[in-house]
């Protein structure tokens, strides 16, 4: 039996822990809050994020960091904007452990992607990324899910450890491309939510997804990613899922934004902060990113959602190419 550590007891971290433990691996699920982890252990479920889904016997929830140090691999399922603070506290404990970034987006202050943030603090570690289309609820319920494990070194052993009967992992060496897809699809999902909330219809959503995908490709080329990577699970696959369902936090956030209804509790909307840093990067490097720019401006309340859509529709006619 292998032991896997999962840092972050939110919806996705918990779902990953359940999926991996169902494959007969021992899993340590760590959360910072003692009260939260005590409740999870008592109930044998994460009632806040994944209610009514009981934990496998080999899944151990804890707020004690020490058990993670004996794990063969540790997954970091915490928000991208929290990575720097977390690593500043725990970097010495994590030295030499294989780490997997399971978050999406770009750091607001630097524009760094998750693996780049980890690299700053732990340059000698084997750093990977797990990304692709997968809703936490479905993953935890054992519904078929396919994702990509990215690494610059061979990861066949880790691929086998983290895969299960219902979670199929593919491999890639393009860390940048994988993470660009994971970051920007959230921004486009917010745009689609805005459009649907404004009652613009399915055709408008399809147009935003398609032109948004073109933005992803343009940005990835400049950032050093491989265009072909975006044709796979972490790009087109994740984009299709996130833009098409109210289960997506980013889509739901955009929908609420358009409706002027942000009283709901949105725990983690990675696309919000990501839109600002990607928009700035696009300006600095003269990359055409109209959808990302509009999303950023709407979130900053510089323009209304109606004005954003009017601006996109008023753009000059051009050939349909990326």
Q: What is the pLDDT of residues 184-235, one digit of tens each?
A: 999 999 999 999 999 999 999 999 999 999 999 999 999 999 999 999 999 9
Average pLDDT over residues 5-15: 98
Give the helix/strand (H/E) hosting 232.
none
Name the CATH topology of 176-313: 1.10.1040
Taking only the tens place, the pLDDT of each residue in 22-61 is 998 999 999 999 999 999 999 999 999 999 999 999 999 9
pLDDT tier at 315, thresholds 50, 70, 90: confident
* Residues forming beta bridges with residue 145, ordered by sequence position: 167
What is the per-residue pLDDT for 311? 87
What is the per-residue pLDDT for 265? 64
Name the CATH topology of 3-173: Rossmann fold (3.40.50)
What is the per-residue pLDDT for 133? 97
Residues 181, 216 contacting (CB under 8 angstroms): yes
Q: Calculate the CA 159 to chain-centre distance.
A: 19
CA distances from 288 to 107, 194, 226, 228, 283 (A): 21, 20, 18, 20, 8
Residue 41 annotated to the active site:
no
Comparing C-alpha atoms, which of 19, 15, 28 is closest to residue 59? 28
pLDDT tier at 14, thresholds 50, 70, 90: very high
Among candidate residues 143, 185, 246, 280, the one labeled active-site is 185
Whether 322 shows a pLDDT value over 60: the answer reads no
Whether 263 shows a pLDDT value over 80: the answer reads no
Can you give the residue ranges of every domain in the chain? Answer: 3-173, 176-313
What is the per-residue pLDDT for 264? 64
Q: What does the alpha-carbon distance between residue 25 and residue 20 come to, in Å, rounded to a whole number?
A: 6
* Residues forming beta bridges with residue 127, ordered by sequence position: 99
Buried b or exposed e, range 34-47, using 16+ CB within 10 angstroms? eebbeebeeeebbe
Taking only the tens place, the pLDDT of each residue in 127-157 is 999 999 999 999 999 999 999 999 998 778 9
Average pLDDT over residues 261-269: 71
CB-count burial class (<10 Å; 0-12, 13-18, 19+) for 283? exposed
- Tokens matching residue 236: 């087109």
Query: Going by C-beta distance under 8 Å and a sequence separation of 6 or more, which residues neighbour residue 46?
Result: 9, 11, 14, 40, 53
Mean pLDDT score across all residues of the chain: 94
Comparing C-alpha atoms, which of 104, 98, 106 is closest to residue 128? 98
* Residues forming beta bridges with residue 167, ordered by sequence position: 145
Comparing C-alpha atoms, which of 2, 70, 76 is closest to residue 32? 76
Average pLDDT over residues 12-30: 96
Taking only the tens place, the pLDDT of each residue in 277-291 is 999 999 999 999 999
What is the per-residue pLDDT for 243? 98
Average pLDDT over residues 255-271: 80
pTM over 0.85: yes
> 170: how many CB neighbours lie within 10 A of its CB?
15
Whether 181 shows a pLDDT value over 90: the answer reads yes
């Amino acid at each position: 039996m292998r032991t896997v550590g999962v840092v972050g007891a939110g919806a996705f971290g918990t779902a990953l822990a359940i999926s991996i433990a169902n494959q007969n691996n021992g899993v340590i699920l760590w959360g910072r809050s003692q009260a939260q982890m005590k409740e999870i252990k008592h109930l044998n479920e994460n009632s806040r994020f994944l209610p009514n889904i009981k934990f496998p016997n080999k899944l151990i929830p804890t707020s004690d960091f020490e058990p993670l140090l004996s794990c063969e691999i540790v997954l970091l399922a915490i928000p991208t904007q929290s990575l720097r603070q977390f690593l500043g506290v725990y970097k010495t404990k994590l030295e030499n452990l294989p780490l997997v970034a399971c978050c999406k987006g770009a750091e607001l202050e630097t524009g760094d992607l998750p693996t780049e943030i980890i690299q700053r603090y732990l340059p000698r570690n084997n750093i990977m990324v797990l990304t692709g289309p997968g809703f936490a609820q479905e993953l935890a319920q054992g519904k078929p899910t396919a994702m990509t494990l990215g690494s610059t070194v061979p990861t066949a052993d880790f691929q086998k450890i983290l895969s299960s009967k219902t979670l199929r992992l593919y491999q890639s060496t393009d860390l940048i491309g994988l993470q660009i897809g994971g970051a920007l699809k959230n921004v486009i999902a917010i745009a689609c939510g805005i459009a649907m909330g404004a009652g613009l219809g399915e055709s408008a959503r399809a147009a935003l997804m398609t032109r948004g995908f073109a933005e992803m490709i343009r940005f990835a080329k400049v950032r050093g990613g491989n265009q072909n990577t975006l044709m796979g699970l972490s790009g087109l696959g994740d984009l299709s899922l996130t833009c098409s369902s109210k289960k997506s936090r980013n889509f739901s956030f955009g929908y609420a934004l358009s409706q002027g209804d942000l009283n709901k509790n949105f725990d983690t909307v990675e696309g919000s902060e990501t839109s600002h840093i990607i928009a700035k990067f696009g300006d600095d490097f003269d990359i055409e990113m109209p959808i990302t720019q509009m999303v950023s401006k709407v979130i900053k309340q510089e323009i209304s959602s109606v004005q954003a859509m009017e601006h996109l529709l008023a753009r000059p006619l051009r050939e349909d190419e990326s």
